[in-house]
Amino acid sequence: MSDKQLEKISQFLHERYGEDEQDFENKMKQSIHFMGAVQDLIEVCGDDPSREGLQETPYRLMKAFLEYTEGYKEIQNYIYKRHLMLIIMIS
């Protein structure tokens, strides 16, 4: 993975998750692992992941996947707040 790609990942994760250093390090490791797996899949399918046009694919796929699943966090927060309100009302 190139330094340019690592910088793009780092910038994206900082924008998305903030400055919590431990959380950022975990997300960075997971992201690199995910993108390596995507590169492996491209190879298994018979293509060259370093080919022009495919070099940014692992990053684009990771970014898209995180954007598609963004609502999961919001749903969990909503459910937590609803349960908390019910507990307060019952008490």
- Predicted confidence pLDDT, tens digits, the chain (91 residues): 778 888 888 888 888 777 777 788 888 899 999 999 999 999 999 999 999 989 999 999 998 988 888 776 666 667 767 766 666 767 5
* Rounded Cα gap, residues 50 and 56, in angstroms: 9
Q: Is 31 exposed, middle or buried (0-12, 13-18, 19+ CB in 10 A)?
A: buried
> Taking a C-beta distance cutoff of 8 angstroms, is the pair 59, 28 a contact?
no
pLDDT of residue 18: 74
Q: What is the largest CA-CA distance in the chain?
A: 62
CA distance 16 to 69: 13
